[in-house]
Each structure stands twice: as C-alpha cells, then as structure tokens.
Amino acid sequence: MKNAPSIEEQKEIHYKMVLTRRLEETLGDLVKAGKTRGPLHRCDGQEAVGVAACAALTIKDYACTTHRGHHVYIGKGMDPRRIIAEIMGRETGYCKGRGGHMLLGDVSTGMLGGNAIVGAGIPAATGMAMSIQLLKQDRVAMAVFGDGAAQTGICHESMNIAGLWKLPVIFLLENNQYGLTVRQEVQSPIPDLYTRAAGYGMPGEVVDGNDAVAVYRVVAKAAERARRGEGPTLIEAKTYRMAGFSTSDMGGYQTEEEMKPWLKRDPIKLSAAVLAKLIGKDEITEIDKAATEEMKQAFEVALADPLPKFEIHAPSSAYSEATQ
Amino acid sequence: MTMMRYAEALNAALREEMQRDPAVFMFGEDIGRYGGVFKVSKGLMDEFGEERIRDTPISEQSMTAMAVSAAMTGTRPILEIMFADFMPLTLDALVNQASVFSYLWEDQVEIPFVLRTQGGGGAGTGAQHAKTLDALVAHVPGIKVVAPVTPADAKGLLKSAIRDSQPVVILEHKLLYNMRGEVPDGVDELVPIGKAKIVKPGNDITILATSKMVLEAEAAAKQLEKDGIDAEVIDLRSLRPLDIGAIKTSVAKTNHAVVVNEGWTFGGYSAELSATIMDHCFDDLDAPVERVAMPDMAVPYSEPLELAVLPNAEKIAAAARRALV
Ligand SMILES: Cc1ncc(C[n+]2csc(CCOP(=O)(O)OP(=O)(O)O)c2C)c(N)n1
Ligand SMILES: [Mg+2]
C-alpha cells in the first residue's frame, strides 16, 4: 500500500502548486492589462486539490476537470507553455486556440477535459471508468468537480451507476464554498456533501483540501480501491476560492472577514511549512524560484507565439461532398 | 419614452409584471442576491423577497420541468437559463412535457411559463458559451420563441411573454445588454408576439434577420446603399409564430431575399426561413434565397477564428450582391 507521498513527490507537488499560482497571478496581470479575451476562472487557493490528487494517480489514469481546472492541467503534467498558448488563443496551444482556457484536452497525459458545462465532467469520468472496466485496464478515472456541480441531475445519475457497477472512478468534489455567486448553503440543505456517498453504496471521505499531503493520501486510497475492482469513492475536499468566480465577477459577496482564515491557510504556505521540516527552508526557496522562472519563460515563449488561421472543420460539414 | 439599456428594459418589464400579478415569480442561477450575471434581475430580490426571486442550485433540467408544472397549477414562472448553450438540459421539459400536455389537456391547463436565456458569439466565451440554438426550441410545436433586438422590444416582448398563456422562450443576446434605446412608458405598453418589424424599408432585396444579426443586416444595408442597392431589412422579432404576412409583402416587392441567423446552417433557423420563403413566395423570387449563418462547427475561442465563423455585415452584403447578379 502506497498512500503517502515520498519526499520527492512532495517536492514535485509543491513545485507544481507554485507553478499553478504563478500561472494564475500572471493571467490576472494580463487581464488587468486588457490582454486576454473572455472570462478566466482562477484556482488560487485550490492548488492542493488538483495538483496533489493528480500526483496520486499515474499518467495513464484519466482526469476530467471543470471551467476552473488549471491545477489539474499542471497536476497531470501538461506543458505550461502550451497551456498558456491555448489560454491566449495561439496556434501552439493544446487546442490550437480553438478551445480557450476552459476546454483543454490532452490524451498524452490523460487529461480528458476541462469542461464549461457544469457537471459534465462527472458522467465523462464515469464513462471512462466503464471503458476501463470493459477493457480490463489498470487505470482509474477521476472527476474533479465543484460543490455547484454536485447539485446537478447528472451527478446523481453518474454516482448511482458508478456505485451499482463498481466502476473504477474517483469523484473528487472540490468544495470551494461557492457555485458562482451563490453560497453552498443556498444550494444544498446539507453542509457535508460527502455524506451522500452512503446513498450510492460507496465510501465517502472528507479531507482538508488545502493540505496537499492529506489530499494525496485520500486520493491514493481511493485509486487503490478502484484498481482492486471495489468501485468508486466520493471525496469532498474542503477548500476556498481565493480569487473570485471569474475575471468578469463583479464581486462584493466574498467578505474579507470570511476570506481571512482561508488566506492564512493558503495551501502553498501550508505545504511549505510541512516541507520545511523535511528539507529545510533553503530548498523550498529554490523550488519557488525555479517554478517562478519556468512559468515566466513559458509566458515569454507563449506570448510570442502566432495566432491561428481559420479553417473550416471538415468533419463537421453538413454535406458529404465537402468532406471528400 | 425613457432612454435605457436593454438589460434595464428587461428589468423594468420584470418589475412591472411582478407588481401587477402576484402569481409571477422568477427563479434561476445567481439571479437573486447578485442580480443575475447580466444584471437583468438587479434589485428585484430586495423588492419582491426570496420566494418570488429565487436563487437556485445548478439544476436546469429539474427547474425547467418544475416551471412547466408550476405554470399548470396557478403560477406564472419565469426561468432564467444563464446561457442558451445550456438549453439542451431544458429540452425534455419543453419537448416531452410542455408541448405535449398543452395539446392533450387543452381545456384543462394553461402553461404560462417564460424561459429567458441569452446566446450568441463575439465575446470570446468559447464553444460551450457562444451558441445560438434558436432552432432547437423553435422546432418544438406549442412553444413561442421571441428574440428582441432593441430595448423597447425587449421590454414589450417580455411583458407579452409573461402575460401569454403558452410557454414562451425569450432569446436575448449577450452583446445587446448594454445597448441603449428609447423605451415607451406605461405598464401596458406591449409588443405583440408574432409581428415582425421593418427596420429599414427598401425596394431591391429583402434581408430577414434575427436577434443581433438585425444590427449586422442594417450595417450591410448601409454598405449596399453605396452600390445603389436599396435593401429592406426586417427584424423578425418573433421566430415562432413567424410573421409570414410581413415576409410575403416584402418579397413580393423586392423579388429577392437574404436570410440571416447566427445559428448553425444545416437544419438551422435560416433553413426554416428559406424553406418558408420557398413555400410562400416562390413565384415572386427572381433568384434563389441566399443564406448567411454560422458554419456547421463548434464556435472557436481565439479571436481570429471566432470572427471568421460569425455572420457579419460584409458577409450579408456579399450575399445580397450574389442574389442580385
Ligand atoms: C449546466 C451549466 N449551468 C450553469 C453554468 C454557469 N456556471 C458556470 S460555473 C458555475 C458555478 C459552478 O460552481 P461549482 O461547481 O461549485 O464550481 P466553481 O466555480 O466553484 O469551481 C455556473 C453556475 C454552466 N456553465 N453550466
Ligand atoms: Mg464551487
């Protein structure tokens, strides 16, 4: 049973969390400078959930995420330069600029989709688990989704089917307290969403989503269970959305008072404190520096990349002669 | 008359109708405390309380079906679906519930239900937040579909929709919310559903357009004027029922037609319009109907790609010139 990260893994998790934070911050600067297009959903404060969960999986395992999935992109090992290029609509982006920041997909790292339809990643991962089960593969699928997504009809349907058929899927509910502007208690009569697992015949776990090691452990345990053929697990990671819903959010509903304790429990600060005991402060400073530098260079390269040229998507064509 | 933005005109319609009739209520995501992501319901929760202006969980499928049955049982629900791209989640309630029972149980129930949503591209929102999908709902019998362009029509059509005894889908456009215009005062100033509007009279060619494409068609008409082409631009306003009389009168005069719609081309609303012209105006036509619509593909994100797929004034003017050669 391997359900705690090694020191090397912890270092890598920390590195990727810093990478993600720099990505978000730099995007924030570009938004202010008017250099981006459309809304952006930052995951500041939630890095531990996406990054540590992906660290507990292998590159062969599938992950589905949401409109707020930058930490999963980085966690799954996608290339920062190509992530940025996609967000900036460049030809070199993961989808050649067609997708934008919410809709990246990369088969080579098993990151099968950001998704901007709330809840859509839940049946997507469940279907991938069905395929894994049929093909008898040594793989698991993970859906990372929000507390808002947990209220959709397809969430219920997917969890019921996954429990029923013992599918190798991990439902990682990232409870950041808000669905868009609406607080979690306005969306659900219960504060602890993981308790719903009982109704689907699967274990329900709750974890501090700002504690990377704890997230890693609980996801590793769920992955082992799935690989043993015992079926799905619902994990609720309690965390907090530090940078608002999106860049078009007019804000005003997340009070400073509410935010304060969460800012103190910033997952990167927590991870640094834990790691410092193991490797010392200096090495952490080095990790921070290296990640900051990698992201800076990724932005430089991506921003110099060209915009794409338009082509009709032939397979979507309505007339057969056009696709011949 | 009062000068106001499109979003404000919708807000005024909601406020006036809720004051007029206590059975009217609205629900949807982020519409309450926050006032809606496009601010259409701003201030309404303070005025009408949390029961009549309800923030909901993200549950479009249930909410639409609930609106249909609530409408059958004495209330007049207004449901906001944040993006038209989420309409597929509402479809069972429209296709298999609302449209069926209004016919089968005709004399026993009315379904005074309004579904408000907004669609359209041009804002860099990506493939799942930029579609039009008007054809999906206009396809369903028993459901009315309107798409106002001006603040005055937004207010007048929404009021008509709320007072209608049938389900009405009102399709707004994300790039119209900040547009300003004069809006007539008066609680009973309605715009009838099913009436098109000539926004620019002309003799040489008829341009039929829906939603924001009306603005593109007006711009195209200005370009065509420079070439000595006198286009008539018609804002259909109501996609269903369709104002067939207005179309017939115009095409009988101009003998040429271009249809413009931001939805997909194949099986799209532009296909319905051009078939309608064929059905009703064939003998008046001197040239085939030209269609300007979205290519059949996902809406891309990157600016040069998104601009390439959207119908615009240049494409409309070019289509008009093709029809007139
Ligand atoms: C089906 C659907 N309904 C509504 C929306 C609009 N919307 C986008 S994100 C969001 C809130 C999602 O909340 P949650 O699942 O908690 O994710 P978070 O933003 O907190 O990461 C909403 C309502 C959508 N994209 N898709
Ligand atoms: Mg949330």
Nearest atom in ligand 1 to the alpha carbon of residue A180 is 11
Residue B129 annotated to the active site: yes
Contact A216, A6 (CB under 8 A): no
In the set B17, B129, B218, B272, the catalytic residue is B129
In residues, how long is chain B?
Answer: 325
pLDDT at B254 over 60: yes
Give the burial string for A286-304 (b: 16+ CB within 10 Å, else e): ebbeebbebbeebbeebee
A96 DSSP assignment: T
Domains and CATH numbers, chain A: 7-307 (3.40.50.970)
* Interface contact flag, B301 A149, Cβ < 8 Å: no
Nearest CA in chain B to A99: B301
The minimum CA-CA distance between A44 and chain B, rounded to whole Å, is 21
Cβ–Cβ contacts within 10 Å for residue B108, how many? 8
Nearest atom in ligand 1 to the alpha carbon of residue B86 is 1
Q: Whose CA is nearest to atom 22 of ligand 1?
A: A180
Picking from A102, A48, A98, the residue whose alpha carbon sits closest to that of residue A247 is A102
pLDDT attached to residue A317: 85
pLDDT at B119 over 80: yes
pLDDT attached to residue B259: 98
Domains and CATH numbers, chain B: 2-183 (3.40.50.970), 197-324 (3.40.50.920)
Q: Which of B32, B85, B296 sits opposite A316 (nearest CB)?
A: B296
In the set B29, B60, B232, B272, the catalytic residue is B60
Q: How far apart are CA B11 and CA B43, in angstroms?
A: 9
SS3 A4: coil
Q: Mind listing the pLDDT tens digit for each residue in B123-137?
A: 999 999 999 999 999
pLDDT attached to residue A322: 59
Q: How far apart are CA B252 and CA B238, in angstroms?
A: 21
What is Dmax (Cα atoms) for chain B?
60
Q: Is the CB of A117 under 6 A from ligand 1?
A: yes
* Interface contact flag, A38 B123, Cβ < 8 Å: yes
* Cis amide prior to A232 (ω within 30 degrees): no
Q: Which of B61, B296, B301 sits opposite A317 (nearest CB)?
A: B296
Q: Is B128 on the interface with A (CB under 8 A)?
A: yes
Q: Mind listing the pLDDT tens digit for each residue in B161-206?
A: 999 999 999 999 999 999 999 999 999 999 999 999 999 999 999 9
Nearest atom in ligand 1 to the alpha carbon of residue A179 is 13
Q: Mind listing the pLDDT tens digit for each residue in B87-118?
A: 999 999 999 999 999 889 987 999 999 999 99
pLDDT at B252 over 50: yes
Residues of chain A with pLDDT under 70: 1-2, 322-324
Q: Is the CB of B85 under 6 A from ligand 1?
A: no
- In this prediction the pTM is 0.95
* Interface contact flag, B301 A253, Cβ < 8 Å: no
